[in-house]
Amino acid sequence: MSRTFSTGFFTPLSKWLLAVAVLAVAVGLWFQWTDDDALFDGIPAWQAKVSPASQWSGSDVSSVTAKSSSHALADDDGYVGRDACRECHADQFESYSRTTHSRSFRETDRALDPPPGSFFHAKSSCQYDVVYRGDSMVHRETLKAPDGASIAVTDQPIDFTMGSGAHAHTYLFQVDGFWLESPITWYSEPKTWQLSPGYDAVDHASFHRVVPNACLFCHAGRISISSENENRFEVVEATIGCERCHGPGKEHIDRYRSLDGTMSSRSESDSSSEAKKDSMGDRIVHPAKLDRQRSEAICQQCHLQGATMITASGASVWDFRPGDRMIDLRTDFQSTGPAESKIVGHVEQIHASRCYQQSETLTCITCHNPHPSGVIEDPVAHYRDHCLQCHQDQDCGIDSDQRLRTNKNACVACHMPKQETNVAHAALHHHRIGIHPDTLTSDAPPGGEVTPHSGEIASIIADDSLSDDERQRRESLAVGRLLLTKPSLAIPASQVQRASQAMLARVADHSVADHSVDAETYAILAMFALSGENFAAAAQYANAAIAIADSNTEIASSATSVLAEVAFRSGDNAAALSHYQQLCQSGHSAKDFYFLGLCLRNAGRMDDAIEAIERALRIQPEFASAHEVMVAIFNEQDPDRARLHLDVLEQLRRLERR
């Protein structure tokens, strides 16, 4: 298998649609190298010629921060942080501290993180190394030529560790206020460094995969989001804390302090205080006292994840509050086809269980105690006891002696077996309680199997309570988004046609001014119009998307990229230059900097063009088209430098032919 280094951007429809869809999120920048730093020994000559990032106006990390223009999900929303709960709820805090939620996100720390390591990824022809420089962790990627020579080297200091380590640690770093993911992950069960989920491919995102703020929703407690760019943010509370399950605590704390003066001095036996408390009502959420739908929604915040998710109009995943119904905020759509065991597939699996369907009380917290009293000494007996709340031991069709010999009579070994997931090195218990093939005997009795999908994408949880219009809106957006981002999905033509007609009808029935149509609807239609080379319609839809996108940077960037491409392909260099400048200010996409360089070159601004192409190559060093432009620019003014880029092109072509 060879690594592909495409020099063209206007590819066939399916590939092009995928490229456009990820345009707004493909960002990155590798760390500045210096000649006197031993960490960067072996940097190829062409990379050493690229201008350091500090020479580019506005590009230095310290000059751009989210803090200067951000709004926080903090005091004004009633959040106080987990430490404020500790004063009165010490026992609950101590039990919470034993959970993986309490270790979901932190600054990278050599004392807590794994040791150095190395591995080679043959598909991408990259060598990966994890090293420490003092107390700082550094991830290195070296693109290797067939003869073993280094084509490009990227060294990136790491800032944050994401994940508790129960299964893995993934690593993040910041550039210009953006958060980016390292391609290197530590997997706990095999105790090894390997590629991060989604990177095992010939072409992958290297160090330029942006982390949208929604991705941190399930790993960090709270964040502060820039009002100018939603993908610039700061972490306010690192770990998943008390308020994620119990709701904002400020009113709860203020209530008790107003009654007793201080939290620590309050007397539960004071009858007058108790009467006053009862009249005010409790202001904190107790998940066990909610109905099943609302209780499960607390877990579904993160443990419900399909092929794509569509929120209510204008809403964000961060808008959820404990006690809400999940369907009121968002719909998670599942891709169709054979059932897949996912790293986050618990909800659809448990909902497919007859145990769940025939019970009114079985929920996540039936088996998973968020405040464990201690280490479970005998997990087999512990979880079997949960099963025996409804079942009898003799209900099992397998003889008890055989069960004891085979798996110590562990119910979950047969009925919730551990299976590999769509994330490497992460095997989890399947949450469909039923009869699974090959778990105990080859002739196990049938029953409880998952019903085959119909072929259409559909909501994972029931959405009957939504209006027909809202259900149609969410479905059409989901279909449009999946066609752009996951064109390999076999969505039935009938559903595609239904979604297209719904989007077009919505646009026809409303003007842009009344904001009744989602900006994403216009952006999707713009991308499809562009793919059909209907430039007029593409520009019209893109302008409408931008007009109502508000602070949604990703949608605005997607629409702006349509306008930029329309202008570039139509020969309007001035308009294309303006659009690409805007894209490069709001993100760090190698493609955007590349086309900005072309526009600057067309405008006769050679020094600026070189700077833009260098930016593209710092983001994506194997970018063949950018190397070609550098060869053309330097052929006359600096033949030696032109030769360096030509050598890189020849090495990349040899990789293609492998």
18 occurs within a structural domain: no
31 occurs within a structural domain: no
With residue 459 as reference, give the H or E element that holds it: strand 458-459
Angle subtended at Cα 546 by Cα 530 and Cα 590, rounded to the nearest 5 degrees: 65
Q: Would the pLDDT of 427 be above 90?
A: no
Average pLDDT, integer, range 345-356 = 83
pLDDT at 337: 53
Residue 438 confidence class, pLDDT cut points 50, 70, 90: low
DSSP 239: S
User: Can you read off the two tokens belonging to residue 241?
Assistant: 């804390």
Our measurement of the distance from residue 572's CA atom to the centroid of its chain's CA atoms, rounded to an integer in Å, reads 36
Instruction: Decide if 23 contacts 563 (C-beta within 8 A).
Output: no
Residue 56 confidence class, pLDDT cut points 50, 70, 90: very low
To the nearest 10 degrees (0 to 180), the angle between helices 606-619 and 590-602 is 170
Q: Would the pLDDT of 588 be above 60?
A: yes
User: Which residue range forms the structural domain that includes residue 130?
Assistant: 105-219
261 occurs within a structural domain: no
Other beta carbons within 10 angstroms of residue 87's beta carbon come to 12
For a pLDDT cut of 70, what percent of the chain falls above it?
80
307 occurs within a structural domain: no
For a pLDDT cut of 90, what percent of the chain falls above it?
57
pLDDT at 446: 35
- Alpha helices by DSSP H, listed for 587-623, are 590-602, 606-619
Reduced DSSP (H G I as helix, E B as strand, rest coil) percent helix, strand, coil of the chain, to 5: 45, 15, 40
pLDDT at 543: 96
Same domain, 508 and 394: no
Q: What is the pLDDT of residues 189-247, one digit of tens each?
A: 889 999 999 999 999 999 999 999 999 999 999 999 988 888 889 999 999 999 999 99
**Bridge partners of 121?**
126
What CA–CA distance (Å, rounded) separates 234 from 179?
9
Q: What is the pLDDT of residues 265-312, one digit of tens each?
A: 444 444 444 444 444 456 799 998 999 999 999 999 998 888 899 999
Residue 424 confidence class, pLDDT cut points 50, 70, 90: low
Same domain, 399 and 483: no
Q: Would the pLDDT of 409 be above 90?
A: no
Residue 19 confidence class, pLDDT cut points 50, 70, 90: very low
Same domain, 643 and 537: yes
Angle subtended at Cα 206 by Cα 65 and Cα 19, rounded to the nearest 5 degrees: 90
pLDDT at 64: 26
Of 180, 195, 219, which residue constitutes the final position of a domain? 219
pLDDT at 335: 73
Q: What is the pLDDT of residues 83-99, one digit of tens each?
A: 999 999 999 999 999 99
User: Can you read off the two tokens belonging to residue 276?
Assistant: 């006053």
41 occurs within a structural domain: no
pLDDT at 262: 56
Of 166, 199, 219, which residue constitutes the final position of a domain? 219
Same domain, 473 and 404: no
**Mean pLDDT of the chain, nearest integer:** 83
pTM score over 0.75: yes
Same domain, 560 and 473: yes
Residue 11 CA: distances (Å) to CA of 8, 523, 525, 569: 7, 19, 19, 14
Into how many domains does the chain fold? 3
CATH, residue 633: 1.25.40.10
408 occurs within a structural domain: yes
Same domain, 491 and 532: yes
Instruction: Decide if 416 contacts 464 (C-beta within 8 A).
Output: no
160 occurs within a structural domain: yes
**CB environment 440-456: b (16+ within 10 A), e (fewer):** beeeeeeeeeeeeeeee
Same domain, 213 and 121: yes
63 occurs within a structural domain: no
Q: Would the pLDDT of 127 be above 70?
A: yes
pLDDT at 641: 97
pLDDT at 277: 46
pLDDT at 419: 72
Residue 550 confidence class, pLDDT cut points 50, 70, 90: confident
Instruction: Decide if 253 contacts 84 (C-beta within 8 A).
Output: yes
Average pLDDT, integer, range 476-489 = 92
Per the listing, tokens 């600026």 go with 608
Instruction: Decide if 566 contacts 543 (C-beta within 8 A).
Output: no
